[in-house]
Amino acid sequence: MLIKDAFKTATRALTHGKMRSVLTMLGIVIGIASVIILMSIGASAQALILNQVQGIGSNLVFVIPGGSTSSKFSSPAAAQGIVIKTLKQTDIDNLSREPSIDAVTAEARGQGKVVYGENDVNVTFDGVPANFFTVRNYATTDGYPFSQSDVDSFNHVAVIGSSLAKTLFNNLEPVGKMIRLNNISLRVVGVLESKGTGPGGVDQDNIVMVPNTVAQSQLLGTDYFTDIVVSANDAYTIDFVKQRITSVLRQDHTLQTTDQDDFTIETQADILSILGTITSTLTLFLAAIASISLIVGGIGIMNIMLVSVTERTKEIGLRKAVGATDRDILEQFLIESIILTLVGGLIGIAIGAFVVTALYLIIATFFSSLGWVFEFPISAVVLGLLVSAIAGVGFGVYPARQAGKKNPIDALRYE
């Protein structure tokens, strides 16, 4: 039998029972659509997170207080909410003298309530030196970042995030206005350009940046930093810079050779590697869950194909009587199940693409600050088609073999 005739015969059989065919392929449709949607969401989340980390800059090295264990995935103590007070101004000063380091900045972070008129908002505030804006590439759309003389003079000035500016001032010009942060008044000197959500889920547009001197002495009452950010000199490798930072800080913190580091150094590459592994595992996990529905769909197809073989026993008998071989019958039923799963797979891909696009449009419209990235992985489409074809063969071969093995006389007599 020509393959073209086999396809024609199979298509005819499937179109004669349209409703049954549609219901049979529904399991595969849902399964493939789920795989596509979840893989796309996983890939989008991965791209979003990695983009944010890449936005940090490849020459930056982060120093977090507290040591870390040997495990790649265990968080440093500071990331677990434990307050460690080891990173001080002397560390910044000593690191600044290193030739392999271009600039050193730091953050002293806290939570507070910011008030303007009748509007108040809970925010994260960040006490930073003036060079923080250049090292971290933070630009203003309105006004200007505060200067080192503002920092040194304990001036009560603030640079605020774009969404905070909108919430507090509506359509008013923020620059020059006085706001209250906890118990102190601050004059707004600049508004940051929108940066969306940063690594670690901090909304970078709902933030108040103040001189670290003001933050540490008047808002937090501390003399330590939450983290230090080092901008490496391009002439040196990141690994060398990490070694120098380790050496300087161990000396500053008077650690013995047997003592473990009381700080953790992380580069963009480290963060990307960890996050990449986590998000890939998450995407795989999501796809694995969605695959369960594919298996259920495949079993549904096998079940209906077995019923179909029984119902069409007389047809099988007739076809064999007029010259069909076992192989011809096997091919016909196998092609039917492959068509069912492939068409189901294509519909699933189309539905998956539609849902993913709709999700993206909704997120882009209503949650634009999230900076959601549209990712529709071709690998998910290939996987979807491959899995549906394999499911068609895998779940169709048993019913098809049953059909092919039927004795023509018994089949013709079947009532």
Partner 1 sequence: MIEVTNLTKEYLEGETPTTALKNITFSIAKGEFVSIMGPSGSGKSTLLHVLSFLDRPTGGTYTFLGKSMNDMDDAELAHVRNADMGFVFQSFNLLSRLTVYDNVEIPLLYSTVPEEKRKDLIEDAVKAVGLEEKMHSEAGRLSGGQKQRVAIARALVTNPDVIFADEPTGNLDSVSGAQVMDILEKLHDKGRTIVLVTHETYTAEFANRIIRVKDGQIESDVPVLKSRHTRQEFIK
Candidates 314, 361, 362, 393; binder of partner 1 (CB under 8 A) is 314
Q: Pick between residue 9 and residue 68 the one whose CB is nearest to partner 1.
A: 9
Q: What is the distance between the alpha carbons of residues 285 and 68, in angstroms, rounded to a whole number?
A: 27
Q: Are 48 and 54 in contact (CB under 8 A)?
A: no
Name the residue nearer to partner 1 (CB basis): 37 or 309.
309
Q: Name the β-bridge partners of 158.
A: 188
11-30: contacts with partner 1 (CB under 8 A): 12, 16
**How is the chain split among helix, strand and coil, in percent rounded to 5?**
55, 15, 25
Alpha carbon 150 to chain centroid distance?
Answer: 39
What would the x/- binding string for partner 1 be over residues 362 to 391, using CB under 8 A? ------------------------------
Instruction: Compute the least distance from the CB of residue 35 to partner 1, in Å.
Output: 35
Q: How far is the CB of 326 from partner 1 (least distance, A)?
A: 7
C-beta of 288 vs 409, nearer to partner 1: 409
Residue from the set 318, 353, 363, 397 that interacts with partner 1 by CB under 8 A: 318
CA distance 78 to 124: 17
Contact between 412 and partner 1 (CB under 8 A)? Answer: yes
Binders of partner 1 in range 324-343 (CB under 8 A): 324-328
Q: Binder to partner 1 among 322, 365, 366, 378 (CB under 8 A)?
A: 322
CB of 3 to partner 1, least distance (A): 11
In the complex, least distance from residue 405 CB atom to partner 1, rounded to whole angstroms = 11
For residues 91-120, which are near partner 1 according to CB under 8 A? Answer: none
Nearer to partner 1, 174 or 317 (CB): 317
Q: Decide: helix, strand or coil at residue 184.
A: strand
Report the nearest approach of partner 1 to the CB of residue 345 (Å): 27
Contacts 24+ apart (CB under 8 A), 308-316: 308/13, 308/333, 308/336, 308/399, 309/333, 309/399, 309/400, 309/402, 309/403, 312/13, 312/403, 313/406, 313/411, 313/414, 314/411, 314/412, 314/414, 316/403, 316/406, 316/408, 316/411
323 binds partner 1 (CB under 8 A): yes
Q: Which residues have CB under 8 Å from 113's CB, separation 6+?
A: 120, 121, 122, 123, 181, 182
Does residue 409 bind partner 1 (CB under 8 A)?
yes
From 143, 317, 344, 392, residue interacting with partner 1 (rule: CB under 8 A): 317
- Single out the segment in contact with partner 1 by CB under 8 A; choices: 121-129, 293-301, 312-320, 365-373: 312-320
3-class secondary structure, 190: strand
Residues written for the chain = 415
**Could you tell me the smallest distance in angstroms from the CB atom of residue 21 to partner 1?**
14
Binding-site size for partner 1 (CB under 8 A) equals 23
Contacting partner 1 (CB under 8 A), which of 107, 126, 315, 375? 315
What tokens were used for 253?
A: 């913190």
> Which one, of 267, 250, 245, lies nearest residue 101 by Cα?
245
Cβ 9 to partner 1 shortest distance, Å: 7
Query: Residue 348 contacts by C-beta under 8 Å, 6 or more apart in sequence?
Result: 28, 29, 30, 31, 32, 33, 35, 36, 384, 388
As a whole number of angstroms, the distance between CA 125 and CA 373 comes to 27
Output 252 or 315, the one with its CB closest to partner 1: 315
Binding site for partner 1 (CB under 8 A): 1-2, 5, 9, 12, 16, 314-315, 317-328, 408-409, 412
